[in-house]
Amino acid sequence: MSFFKVENISISFGGVKALNEIAFEVNKGEIFSIIGPNGSGKTTLFNCISGIYKPTNGKILFNESNIMGKNPHNIAKLGIARTFQNIELFPYMNTMENLMIGRHIYMKTGIFRAAFMLGRKSFAAKEESFHREKVEEIMELLDLQSFRNRFVGGLPYGVQKRIELGRALALEPKILLLDEPCAGMTSDEKEDMIFLVQDILEILGVTILLIEHDMKVVMDISNRILAINFGSPIVIGKPQVVQNHPEVLKAYLGEE
C-alpha cells in the first residue's frame, strides 16, 4: 500500500507543457525533494497536489484514494498543508491569528456560536482558548512567542517564513509541502530552518515534500530526490544517484 503517489500528471498553460507525465511515490516519514532549474515546474507540481491547478490527466493518490479534482480546502482537510515560495501570510493579522487559521478545520464556531460568545464559559470562548493553547505549542517549537501579538506584515523575512511554516503545522498535516523554505535566508537562518524541518519530521512525524535550490541542503537532508526539467522527469533516486546523473548535471550546467 502506498502512502502518497502521483501517477503521470500533466498540465499545460497556453500550449506550454508545464508538467509532462510526472510520476513518483513518497513513503511515509521521508523527506522527498524535488529539484530542477527555474521554471521547470516544481511549484506547478505543488499547486497540482494542493488542488489549485487541475492536471489534465493522471492521478494523485493519498492513502490510495484519488485527491485530484478536489477543492484545495478539502485537500487541506485530508492533512496536506503547504508553504509558498513567495510568502503568503495574512499581513493584517498577528502571529497568533495567522497560526489560528491553521486550526480552522478543527474548529466548529460558526456565526451563531460566535454571536453568542458571552463570557468565558461559552462554546466559542472555550474553543478559542483550547486552540490558542495548541498554537502556543507550535510557536514554542518555532521560537515565535516573542512575535505573538505583532502584525506579521511588518516582521522580518526569516520570521515570516517560520510563521508560514507554523501555520501549516497548526493544521497537523500528514504531508507538508515546503516550497523553497530557505530561499532568501542568511546562512544562519538556513541552518535553523534545516534543523526545524528535521525536527518536524522526527517530533511530529510529518512526511515532507521539499522544493529547494540549495543543492547542499537538498543532498544533506533528502531521503530521495526527483529531478525535473522543462516539466519532464529526469530521474528519481537517492541523493548520490541524482547528484551524479548526467542529465541533471547538464540541466544545471546548461542553466548557469
Partner 1 sequence: MNMKRDYYEDINLFHSKTVIFWFAVLILFLVLYPFLFKNYYIYVANYIAINIIVATGLNILVGYTGLISLGHAGFFCLGAYGTVILMVKAHIPFLIALPLSSLFAGLFGFLIGLPALRLEGPYLSIATLAFGLTITQVVGKLDFFGGREGLHTSKLLIGNLHIDSDRDFYCLLIPITIIMIFIARNIVRTRVGRAFIAIRDAEIAAETIGVNVMLYKTLAFAISAFYTGVAGGLYAFVLRFIEPQLFSQMMSIMFLAMVVVGGIGSTFGSIAGAILLTLLDLELRNILSIPYLGKFLESLSKNFFSITGVSNIQFIVFGFIIIFIMLFEPLGMFGIWIRIKKYWKTWPF
Ligand X SMILES: Nc1ncnc2c1ncn2[C@@H]1O[C@H](COP(=O)(O)OP(=O)(O)OP(=O)(O)O)[C@@H](O)[C@H]1O
Of partner 1, Mg ion, ligand X, none, which one does residue 124 interact with (CB within 5 to 8 Å by kind)? Answer: partner 1
CA dist 186 and 188 (Å) reads: 5
33 scored as a contact of Mg ion (CB under 5 A): no
Q: Scanning residues 49 to 68, which ones bind partner 1 (CB under 8 A)?
A: 50-52
Nearer to Mg ion, 43 or 160 (CB): 43
**230, 52 in Cβ contact below 8 A?**
no
Which of these segments, 31-39, 65-73, 124-132, 150-158, binds ligand X (CB under 6 A)? 31-39
Nearer to partner 1, 148 or 245 (CB): 148
Q: Nearest CA to 204 among 116, 124, 138, 120?
A: 138
Nearer to Mg ion, 204 or 215 (CB): 215
Which of these segments, 38-46, 102-110, 113-121, 168-176, binds ligand X (CB under 6 A)? 38-46
Residues paired with residue 31 on neighbouring β-strands, in sequence order? 208
Q: 3-state SS of the chain?
A: CCCEEEEEEEEEECCEEEEEEEEEEECCCCEEEEECCCCCCHHHHHHHHCCCCCCCEEEEEECCEECCCCCHHHHHHCCEEECCCCCCCCCCCEHHHHHHHCCHHHCCCCHHHHHCCCCCCCHHHHHHHHHHHHHHHHHHHCCCHHHCCCEHHHCCHHHHHHHHHHHHHHCCCCEEEEECCCCCCCHHHHHHHHHHHHHHHHHHCCEEEEECCCHHHHHHHCCEEEEEECCEEEEEECHHHHHCCHHHHHHHHHHC
In this structure, what is the dihedral angle of CA atoms 101, 104, 107, 113, given to the nearest 10 degrees?
Answer: 80
Amino acid symbol at 202: E
6, 35, 43, 182: residue in contact with ligand X (rule CB under 6 A): 43
Which of these segments, 14-22, 30-38, 151-159, 227-235, binds partner 1 (CB under 8 A)? 151-159
Q: Scanning residues 79 to 108, which ones bind partner 1 (CB under 8 A)?
A: 81-82, 84, 88-93, 96-97, 100-102, 104-105, 107
Q: Scanning residues 110 to 139, which ones bind partner 1 (CB under 8 A)?
A: 110-111, 114-117, 120, 124-125, 127-129, 132-133, 136
42 scored as a contact of ligand X (CB under 6 A): yes
Which of these segments, 2-10, 35-43, 68-76, 87-95, binds ligand X (CB under 6 A)? 35-43
214 scored as a contact of Mg ion (CB under 5 A): no
Site for partner 1, rule CB under 8 A: 50-52, 71-73, 75-77, 81-82, 84, 88-93, 96-97, 100-102, 104-105, 107, 109-111, 114-117, 120, 124-125, 127-129, 132-133, 136, 151, 153-154, 167-168, 171
Binding site for ligand X (CB under 6 A): 13, 16, 18, 36, 38-44, 85
Q: Contact residues for Mg ion (CB under 5 A)?
A: 43, 85
